[in-house]
Structure 1
Amino acid sequence: MTQGALVVGSIGVLINVVDAIGTGRLEPHDAFVALVALGAGGELLKERRPTAAKALQAVTSVLLVVAGSVAGVRAWGALFRGTTYDWVDLALGVLVVLYVGVGAAQLLGRLSQGAARSRLSAGTLSD
């Protein structure tokens, strides 16, 4: 399944590149096909090269946030101005906000767990 996602994502990237060359413009939502390919590549590398897989997943996350933010800001701005907008871009903007929110909550949870463990360890050492 992951190899299929890598192939489909790679084909989609090629299609988007050809389309960008033809139109002279690359849209933010065009990056999401690359995200599929990068995510699949990260999954395939997980066992053999865990460091490279983590780096690829980090690049994928940054690309997701940047592309989704650009698409979402454009679409929400158009919505508030009353001009034409794309529902997919609106949804991408909302999903990116949720993605960042969940990531921040996970990070805060890990940090608070680490702080609680260090307090517990310090209390055990002082007894």
Structure 2
Amino acid sequence: MSSEDFPSGPWTGYYQYPTGERGSQDLLLMFQNGRMSGGGQDERGGFEIQGSYDEDSKEADWVKAYPDGHKVLYRGFREGPVPGIWGTWNIPGNWSGGFHIWPLISSSEDLESMEEAEHETRHQPALLPGG
């Protein structure tokens, strides 16, 4: 059974290249009894997802596999005020970067609050000594 932290259904998000550029991805994920599965589409094409998640630790690990055999390993965490899973992806011996995926939201108010929280999380002002 999926939960509030790991809801089954449509998700969207991005992955970030080492250069800082982002690629978008849309996913349809199923979370059930510690297993996650599904598939999606990104700029490279269609892919399948197989992995696991843990309700207690809020961690998830999965493999994104393309039909041509190309595989990307993902490791993520559900934490903080922004919905979804944050973490890192890697292609062993090749590239790695960050990602953020989140469940699609029907309310534009919820989307605005998510974007504000993400902006605040990424752009925290530096604290000056004595301030």
Is TM > 0.5 for Structure 1 vs Structure 2? no
TM-score, with structure 1 as normaliser: 0.28
Higher helix share: 1
Higher strand share: 2
